[in-house]
Structure 1
């Protein structure tokens, strides 16, 4: 089949949306399908990935976070583009701005659409000082996903969120993990020694340094005796967080083998963000044999079995977060047992299996559009 993937975010900007799209493109290439990506223009953006051409549309940087590109394309422009490409199905990756125009353009052309819900954009409004905008943003999410032939949600919490908005034609589609890349075998004693020269327990965070991630909630952990907090990632809050937690190790942005080695070298991972629709970095830590402490909200609830491969704490309760970390720091046997369970818990969540199910949803959307009036 021919698939047009409309990406709200794509290379060179790396995040969960981009990562998922790259795995889907690899899978389509392996199957011999034809793919084309429609994405916001950005400095350094590639023209082709995994054999799929990238069509760039005009975009501007998000105020205060220039790496995030916001596409500016009309329904008319997207209609002309999709009509020219003539795909069998349109894949809408985390649709919001570009996806809003694309879902309407696809409807005008009678093209089947599969919308991937991935980012809780409306809830970011409060984190960025615009709580008044949240109802308007939820209305946009509802309109996009009720217009799509199939909506795929990454977790049970996300499905409940969308169902409460009145979105139907919902299916659960979690994310895969590369269990060869993220593997306990990549634990690096030399790297650990550079972080924790006095044998401290290494507690890590992996992700963007942005307001919605609540990385500042880790300040108490950074000050714990016998603990070395390692923060992997960059973002607009980087300077503030470095001032707030001068004892923490800021490793910056890591990718590829460097990231896999760093994650496997943690003893415990903490993920304080409360707006995760899935939590890919949580899953990668579990695959690396690292127990995870995260709030009992959103995507991590599907990934973490409390007391088995990590801990879930009450949202907003930093004291509960710190208590869970203190327990894992103090009890090495418990930490190692939960790490072993962590690896086992995600071994079947491979990208080939996840992408194979996606093809089934493409076929369902095509079939549904074929019989619709």
Structure 2
């Protein structure tokens, strides 16, 4: 099978979209399929790669979105259409399509190639969080146009599927995220690291791992600032770090970690907290659980499917998260929480998830074999503002 992936984000930017694309590419390589990636280019000072496992990476220019440094945007140039025409894929995989992915969806229609769209980023939630009225206007109309131009949409959680269906996005199926249960494991717990964080060896270590961006809600951990029995640890970097260092004056900021350092950091926590309400899945929660760490998250989005209330952690209402957080941390009071956290990820490997994805590919290919090419090639009806935005591509 020949698979073209149009990714809204990719290396060197590391996030949930990038990680899932990498796992898919690794599976395609292991199974002997052919692939290529179209993705945003590196930003200033970043090192750019031109291939991954021998699969070519074709780049488009990248621009910054005001106030959202954590959300890179690729400019949909003619490269998208020309590369897809040259590669002639059997199927097009759109990873979190919004701008670059929209160009991929419309090119797929023009080239009469079936497409699968993966909904991974809550852009509408981001727009609300950052008070970007120009972006907030028409976001769902735009997403509906992109996703309904594809033959199938995959979403990572039950709440996300329900939300997409409420906005009249068709043929939505479930596809979660796998976790590396070997790399993230309770055995990676480091007493030396814990002692570095808490020389007194008397405190519970409560932490967060992820991008330090406003939509992650890390500031809500300030509810634990005054607890003498708790040491906060923040792993990650991003535009909010200076502000968070002021808001969490007693926390240990470790910066961005990877590999074994990241695995040790996860496993060395006593409780993991993710306070952001805009996660369509929340891979960080799953990695913490694989590390044997109970988790606390918002009763919104992806965490709802990952946290079993009172079993491997707790879900808190977004509006009262700050007030409820200290009691939730105290309620995680036995080693059984960690054991149950690890047990909850036992069947969630990337191998299984990628096999499921290949099944979705085959389903789409089979269904489109029964559809006349003239139907598959029809363009979706664009909203006027969207047609003006992409006029050069869809005219």
Alpha-carbon RMSD across the aligned residues, in angstroms, is: 1.3
Instruction: Name the SS of the counterpart of 1:203 in structure 2.
Output: strand
Structure 2: any 5+ residue segments left out of the alignment? 373-395
User: Match for residue 143 of structure 2?
Assistant: 141
The aligned residue for residue 45 of structure 1 is 48
Partner Cα distance (1:261, 1:129) in 2: 37
| 1:312 aligned onto 2:312 | no
Aligned partners of 1:310 and 1:19: how far apart in 2? 25
> Residue 23 and residue 182 in structure 1: after superposition, are their counterparts in 2 closer, same or farther (change >3 A)?
same
CA shift for structure 1 position 122: 1.2
Residues 35-67 of structure 1 show CA distances to partners (whole Å, capped at 9, x for unaligned) of 101101114121111221101112223334556
SS of equivalent to 2:319: coil
- Structure 2 CA distance, aligned partners of 1:68 and 1:276? 14
Match of 2:392 in 1: none
Q: Give the distance between the partners of 2:8 and 2:130, measured in 1 at CA.
A: 19
1:79 Cα deviation from its structure 2 partner: 2.3
Q: Is the partner of 2:138 in helix, strand or coil?
A: helix
Runs ≥4 residues deviating over 4 A: 64-68
Whether the 8 Å CA contact 2:223–2:323 is kept in 1: the answer is no
Q: What is the SS of the residue equivalent to 1:346?
A: coil
What residue number does 1:2 align with? Answer: 2
Residue 106 of structure 1: how far off its partner (Å): 0.4
Conserved in 2, the CA contact under 8 Å of 1:13 and 1:68?
no
SS in 1 for 2:344: helix
Q: 1:307 to 1:288 in 2, by over 3 A?
A: same
List per-residue Cα deviations over 1:228-259 (Å, max 9, x = no partner). 00011111110001011110011111111111
1:130 aligns with 132
Deviation at 1:68, TM superposition (A): 4.2
Quick check: 79-88 or 123-132, which moved more?
123-132
Whether the aligned pair in 1 keeps the contact of 2:91 and 2:114 (CA below 8 Å) is: yes
- The reply on whether 1:284 has 2:287 as its aligned counterpart is yes
CA distance in 1 between counterparts of 2:318 and 2:64 reads 31
Deviation at 1:91, TM superposition (A): 0.4
What is the DSSP-based 3-state SS (H/G/I as helix, E as strand, rest coil) of the residue aligned with 2:136?
helix
User: Could you tell me how far apart the structure 2 residues matched to 1:367 and 1:278 are?
Assistant: 28
The answer on 1:102 being equivalent to 2:73 is: no
Query: What SS class does the counterpart of residue 19 from structure 2 fall into?
Result: helix
The CA deviation at 1:222 is 2.7
Q: How far apart, CA to CA, are the structure 1 residues paired with 2:26 and 2:219?
A: 36
> How much does 1:34 deviate?
0.5
| Displacement after TM superposition at 1:133 (Å) | 3.3
How many pairs were matched up? 367
Structure 1 unpaired stretches of 5+: none
Partners of 1:35 and 1:52 within 8 A in 2: yes
Partner of 1:213 in structure 2? 216
CA distance in 2, matches of 1:201, 1:106: 52
Paired position in structure 1 for 2:384:
none
The aligned runs of 1:115-264 (5 Å cut-off) are 115-131=117-133, 133-199=135-201, 200-264=203-267
Within the candidate set 330, 334, 345, 1:326 is matched to: 330
Q: How many Å separate the matches in 1 of 2:312 and 2:349?
A: 18
Q: Secondary structure at 1:17's aligned position in 2?
A: helix
Counterpart check, 1:78 vs 2:77: no
- Cα deviation, 1:96-129, whole Å, max 9, x if unaligned, reads 0000111001001100101000000111012212
1:294 aligns with 2:293: no
1:181 alignment partner, SS class: coil
Measured after TM superposition, the shift of residue 315 of structure 1 is 1.5
1:352 maps to what in 2? 351
Tell me, yes or no, if structure 1 residue 29 matches structure 2 residue 29.
yes
Contact 1:232–1:253, Cα closer than 8 Å, also in 2? yes
| Match in the other structure for 1:17 | 17
